[in-house]
């Protein structure tokens, strides 16, 4: 029996990160910024010196529509990276940093599991190297400068009813979604409605993950639109002279973080936007570093391919000029049962009929990757002890009929040895030369047509709709010169629709856009659909109630 995840991670014997960096990546000690013995940042200046080195092959790991517990994309990235190294391909993985929200909320830790983990697990899941704190500080500095400017005479003419820049906190806290600030009289500024988003929803987080250099970071921060004047013209961070100080707060956060897997293979973990409310990918800087440092760079995008992969291709690859060679679509029997209608305890019991009913969901994700985006893809069935061979046979028959490759992977229980077949299949696919990345829209298409294109081609929807006031906002952004930006759709991860109750592969539904937000610095327009929230709440029994530490400093309950 496989021991608990935390026990496996805590038992790992780790060599100093400097030794791993030298031996596995050729990174000298003076190019590392150590954070203790087991983690470090790689200096951005040293990475720029690799520009002339050829890129490795880029593999994206994405997934079918998940259950709330997640289907193990992170463990697949880790297991695949370990297995590629095992078969002689030098691989570097690039992951997102966990947010404290889900760590203490529903999902617990997010550093992998079983024999496929990145370590030091506790550090990665908690404060790590302080990147999230830096993002929060930079974001909240701008919020403070907005209110301070209004308090001291408002020379820019900010309309306090049209301030769009909320505050952020890296914790799920529903009570902070809508608040009133400035109470207590004139010494405390002007009273106005405000609110908090979670840090991963911050435009500063998106900017950190899309910036290619310090100069690009600073320029993007300057373009942030914080609100409007009474005449509707935009007020930016540059107008408030905030972008320089914000960039200073992010001066260390921009360096990518280096850790390792349990099998002592290098892992870059940098940035952490959620794909249901942001673009859901780790940083461009880390991805490019992985491409320069390895024969293979394996990265992930959040939630199902309708969210994470769509944004990876349409936003990250478009902005950064990345060209993926292959995609791995993660599926589990549990998720297939769920899409086939299973609920509660039935999700854990074998049910070939439910699996068969759930297959249209998997098949649509696969079609989107291969046909809509033009990226060669295979399906990795994330296997767990107790999985039913009868259910696996159902999936194999269906994918064989679709001309698709299915590979079972047992990395969770067996580490890299259990993912060798997956690694060999990925190498064959990535080296086939069949990738021809296509986008969901043209740059010159209007914003609303870009939203409609995603809804129809990726979600299978009949159309999109919105209240007249929301449509007017979109039209105003179009007139103001933001029409060439990509759209970033914030919607439920639990369905192709904006209604999470619609399972499988629904068609004919209408995607409802509730709110529109401009992220001019990040370079996209956010379309918030259905009931999606940018500040989650804690569940009835949050993971925080299981997490503890003993007198010797050993943490328990994080998984």
Catalytic residue among 39, 96, 311, 318: 96
Residue 188 is given by DSSP the state G
- Residue 196 is among the residues annotated as catalytic for this protein: no
DSSP letter string over 282-294? --HHHHHHHHHH-
Catalytic residue among 62, 65, 74, 75: 75
- Residue 412 is among the residues annotated as catalytic for this protein: yes
Catalytic residue among 22, 107, 162, 514: 107
| Angle, CA of 471, 199 and 144, to the nearest 5° | 85
Query: Residue 134 to residues 169, 205, 281: CA-CA distances in angstroms?
Result: 11, 10, 18
Backbone dihedral region for residue 88 (phi beyond 0: left; psi -120 to 50: alpha; all else: beta): left
Catalytic residue among 128, 196, 303, 313: 303
| Angle, CA of 229, 230 and 232, to the nearest 5° | 65
**Cis peptide preceding 500, ω within 30 of 0:** no
Catalytic residue among 110, 253, 275, 297: 275
- Residue 441 is among the residues annotated as catalytic for this protein: no
- What tokens does 253 get? 């956060």
Return d(Cα 555, Cα 119) in angstroms, integer.
14
Catalytic residue among 384, 404, 413, 484: 384
Contact 258, 41 (CB under 8 A): yes
* 3-class SS letters over 87-130: CCCCEEEEECCCCHHHHCCCCCCCCEECCEEEECHHHHHCCCCC
Strands 196-198 and 225-229: unpaired
Catalytic residue among 57, 73, 292, 503: 73
Return d(Cα 172, Cα 198) in angstroms, integer.
7
- Residue 73 is among the residues annotated as catalytic for this protein: yes
- Residue 75 is among the residues annotated as catalytic for this protein: yes
- Residue 448 is among the residues annotated as catalytic for this protein: no
Q: What's the CA dihedral at 466, 470, 471, 472 to 10 degrees? A: 160
- Residue 96 is among the residues annotated as catalytic for this protein: yes
Catalytic residue among 128, 274, 313, 412: 412
* Count of beta carbons in the 10 Å neighbourhood of residue 542: 16
Show which residues are catalytic. 73, 75, 96, 107, 275, 303, 384, 412
């Amino acid at each position: 029996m496989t021991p608990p995840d935390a026990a496996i991670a805590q038992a790992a014997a780790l060599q100093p990160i400097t030794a791993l960096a030298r031996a596995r990546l050729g990174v000298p000690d003076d190019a590392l910024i150590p954070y203790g013995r087991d983690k470090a940042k790689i200096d951005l200046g040293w990475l720029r010196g690799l520009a002339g080195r050829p890129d490795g092959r880029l593999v994206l790991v994405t997934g079918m529509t998940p259950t709330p517990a997640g289907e193990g994309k992170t463990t697949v990235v880790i297991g695949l990276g370990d297995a590629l190294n095992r078969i002689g391909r030098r691989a570097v993985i690039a992951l997102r940093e966990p947010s404290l929200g889900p760590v203490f909320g529903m999902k617990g830790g997010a550093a992998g599991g079983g024999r496929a983990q990145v370590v030091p697990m506790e550090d990665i899941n908690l404060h790590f190297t302080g990147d999230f704190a830096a993002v929060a500080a930079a974001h909240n500095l701008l919020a403070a400068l907005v209110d301070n400017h209004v308090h001291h005479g408002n020379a820019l003419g900010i309309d306090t009813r049209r301030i769009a820049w909320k505050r952020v906190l890296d914790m799920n806290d529903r009570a902070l979604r809508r608040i009133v600030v400035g109470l207590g009289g004139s010494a405390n500024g002007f009273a106005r409605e405000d609110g908090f988003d979670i840090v991963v929803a911050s435009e500063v987080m998106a900017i950190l993950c899309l910036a290619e250099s310090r100069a690009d970071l600073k320029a993007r921060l300057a373009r942030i639109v914080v609100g409007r004047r009474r005449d509707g013209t935009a007020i930016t961070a540059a107008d408030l002279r905030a972008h320089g100080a914000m960039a200073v707060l992010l001066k260390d956060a921009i360096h990518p973080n280096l850790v390792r897997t349990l099998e002592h293979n290098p892992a870059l973990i940098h940035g952490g936007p959620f794909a249901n409310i942001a673009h859901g990918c780790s940083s461009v800087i880390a991805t490019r570093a992985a491409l320069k440092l390895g024969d293979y760079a394996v990265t992930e995008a959040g939630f199902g391919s309708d969210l994470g992969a769509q944004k990876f291709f349409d936003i990250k690859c478009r902005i950064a000029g990345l060209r993926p060679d292959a995609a791995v679509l993660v599926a589990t029997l549990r998720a297939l049962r769920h899409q086939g209608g299973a609920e509660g305890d039935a999700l854990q019991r074998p049910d070939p009929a439910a699996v068969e009913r759930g297959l249209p969901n998997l098949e649509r994700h696969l079609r989107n990757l291969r046909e809509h985006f033009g990226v060669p893809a295979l399906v990795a069935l994330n296997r767990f002890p107790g999985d039913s061979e009868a259910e696996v046979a159902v999936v194999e028959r269906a994918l064989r009929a679709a001309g698709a490759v299915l590979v079972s992977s047992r990395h969770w229980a067996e580490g890299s040895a259990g993912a060798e077949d997956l690694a060999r299949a990925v190498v064959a696919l990535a080296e086939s030369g069949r990738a021809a990345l296509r986008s969901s829209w043209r740059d010159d298409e209007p914003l609303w047509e870009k939203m409609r294109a995603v809804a129809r081609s990726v979600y299978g929807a009949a159309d999109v709709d919105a209240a007249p006031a929301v449509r007017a906002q979109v039209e105003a952004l179009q007139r103001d010169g933001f029409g060439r930006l990509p759209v970033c759709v914030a919607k439920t991860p639990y369905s192709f629709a904006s209604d999470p109750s619609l399972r499988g592969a629904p068609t004919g539904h209408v995607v409802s856009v509730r709110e529109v937000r401009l992220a001019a610095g990040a370079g996209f327009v956010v379309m918030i659909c259905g009931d999606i929230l940018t500040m989650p709440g804690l569940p009835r029994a949050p993971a925080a109630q299981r997490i503890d530490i003993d007198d010797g400093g050993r943490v328990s309950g994080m998984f």
